[in-house]
Chains A and B, each alone.
Chain A
């Protein structure tokens, strides 16, 4: 009985969470698409500031993560391909798996950890120190003022960072291929692009748009619904990372399935 009621409570709380996030999403869409016609929208300087924070300041860490992943990926696949005497194909394997899968997902995980958590912590602190209440009392909608610029910035910058991730991963692979596997540099580059199709790149980019929305929505939702002082802020921050991670992997699975069966 206890377990059943606990499962029931869990299902209800998940259901309410989903409803809450969807309501926030609707609100954000309203302020992006309908707000401007009513003379109220996010301020450009806010969006710009967030884009710098999300994009520029995250570029280095995205570079590092994907660069080393490219190196590892090249070595691991070389280990397999060498036996078949097909070392050259390291190039295309690295490129395709990065663009389709690892680039978008790794970038999203890095950004969820770095930006999503920061959003939750910042908005959560604002919530518990009555700053959100102060905004409401000044008749400034917190979703428009705080959530929209962050959502927008992530939506624009996530795909850019993903492409950066793809490129740095491929460079990592190239260094292994040329440096340690002794493949000719031009040949490596040629092979990279020979098997890399446009759809490999854009399916990855499509994923990154979805991941951006997940990170922004969860970060903002957790932040705006923080309760109970510093401890609550800590909880919101942790939750934002954990839930974003789970949703990113889930969404990746769903999208990959869709792309697979629609032969993209």
Chain B
């Protein structure tokens, strides 16, 4: 797939986006192009701004500068109604699942279907069963989110994200908090979805195994800046010291928690 990326259409384009919270620049002039039906991985340290970048890409928060263009529409400019229209082709898996507590697993997964389609109850029930068995959770329909484990909630969140057969799915750390086997199943699912259904996947993760399993292309962000982008092999063999340190999980290197984080520095009075 990687060879013909050049001819592929750009489905999501992030252009010079910046965002600050309370005077701190969390996203700093980020530009990214994501191609149709590829799996694009955004990796980076905890607190580097990955979730914030996803929020910007999905229009939950507005950038201070720059624009986000999805399928040719600038979602920072369009009306709420048009944004909802674009969002119907989205699925999103949240870092902490964000299932509705008051609804059962089945109701959670069926919610978008009930809200946006006119499908009959029993057809919806069948779709929900299908999606739940994709994530290995058949038989848990009647449980409430509080009655299942964190990893299971995440998988329900994934079933909900793909309930509407979206064209684009955003995953915020799909495998964190899952055991390696389930993690592998989820990785395979993400791969299958983009290979068989031509879904575009945008995956935020710091699980390196998963990155090399699923990614077509990778971007690394550090302190709100994109410091490297490229195809998976390029990233794997890069000489960029930040990326190398991150991939290999070394405590010492250019990414230095103790030196670079102002909070810690001040706390230690360095």
Q: Which residues of B contact A122 (CB under 8 A)?
A: 102
Which of A105-113, A133-141, A166-174 lies at the interface?
A133-141
CB contact under 8 A between A134 and B98, given known A139-B84, A139-B87, A139-B88? yes
The answer to whether A134 touches B92 (Cβ under 8 A) is yes
Most B Cβ at <10 Å: residue of A133, A135, A138, A140: A138
B101 is an interface residue with CB less than 8 A from chain A? yes
Which of A95-103, A124-132, A176-184 lies at the interface?
A124-132
Q: How far is the CB of A131 from chain B (nearest CB, A)?
A: 5
Q: Which residues of A contact B100 (CB under 8 A)?
A: 126, 131, 134-135
The answer to whether B116 touches A126 (Cβ under 8 A) is no
Chain B 87-103: CB-based contact to A (< 8 A → 1; otherwise 0):
11010101010111110
**CA A136 – CA B88 in complex, angstroms?**
10
Q: How far is the CB of A46 from chain B (nearest CB, A)?
A: 10
Q: Which residues of B contact A129 (CB under 8 A)?
A: 96, 98, 101
Q: How far is the CB of A128 from chain B (nearest CB, A)?
A: 11
The answer to whether B92 touches A137 (Cβ under 8 A) is yes
Q: Which residues of B contact A138 (CB under 8 A)?
A: 87, 111-112, 115
**CA A137 – CA B93 in complex, angstroms?**
10
Q: On chain A, which size bracket covers the interface?
A: 10 to 19
**CA A43 – CA B84 in complex, angstroms?**
19
**CA A138 – CA B113 in complex, angstroms?**
10
The binding surface of chain A is classed by DSSP as helix
B111 partner, pick from A126, A133, A140, beta carbons under 8 A: A140
**CA A231 – CA B163 in complex, angstroms?**
34
**CA A139 – CA B55 in complex, angstroms?**
14
B67 is an interface residue with CB less than 8 A from chain A? no
B60 is an interface residue with CB less than 8 A from chain A? yes
Chain A 133-156: CB-based contact to B (< 8 A → 1; otherwise 0):
111111111000000000000000
The answer to whether A137 touches B87 (Cβ under 8 A) is yes
The answer to whether A131 touches B60 (Cβ under 8 A) is no
B58 is an interface residue with CB less than 8 A from chain A? yes
Q: Which residues of A contact B90 (CB under 8 A)?
A: 137
Question: Total contacts A to B, CB within 8 angstroms?
Answer: 47
Q: How far is the CB of A24 from chain B (nearest CB, A)?
A: 15
Q: Which residues of A contact B102 (CB under 8 A)?
A: 122
The answer to whether B101 touches A137 (Cβ under 8 A) is no
**Which residues from 41 to 94 on chain B have a C-beta closer than 8 Å to any C-beta of chain A?**
55, 58, 60, 84-85, 87-88, 90, 92, 94
Chain B 106-140: CB-based contact to A (< 8 A → 1; otherwise 0):
00000110111000000000000000000000000
CB contact under 8 A between A133 and B112, given known A126-B101, A139-B84? no
The answer to whether A133 touches B60 (Cβ under 8 A) is yes
**CA A129 – CA B115 in complex, angstroms?**
21
Q: Which residues of B contact A131 (CB under 8 A)?
A: 98-101
The answer to whether B115 touches A130 (Cβ under 8 A) is no
Q: How far is the CB of A57 from chain B (nearest CB, A)?
A: 15
CB contact under 8 A between A136 and B60, given known A129-B96, A130-B96, A131-B99? yes
**CA A138 – CA B98 in complex, angstroms?**
12
Q: Which residues of B contact A140 (CB under 8 A)?
A: 111-112, 115
CB contact under 8 A between A137 and B60, given known A129-B96, A131-B98? yes
> Please, could you name 30 A-B residue pairs with CB atoms under 8 Å apart, sorted by A?
A43-B114, A125-B101, A126-B100, A126-B101, A129-B96, A129-B101, A130-B94, A130-B96, A130-B98, A131-B98, A131-B100, A131-B101, A133-B94, A133-B98, A134-B92, A136-B60, A136-B87, A137-B87, A137-B90, A137-B92, A138-B87, A138-B111, A138-B112, A139-B84, A139-B85, A139-B87, A139-B112, A139-B116, A140-B115, A141-B84
Residues of A within 8 A of B (CB): 43, 122, 125-126, 129-131, 133-141
List of 4 A-B pairs having minimum Cβ-Cβ separation, nearest first: A134-B98, A139-B84, A130-B98, A139-B87
Taking A129-B101, A141-B84 as known contacts, 19 extra A-B pairs with beta carbons closer than 8 A to each other, sorted by chain A number, are: A43-B114, A125-B101, A129-B96, A130-B98, A131-B98, A133-B60, A133-B94, A133-B98, A134-B92, A135-B100, A137-B87, A138-B112, A139-B84, A139-B85, A139-B88, A139-B115, A140-B111, A140-B112, A140-B115
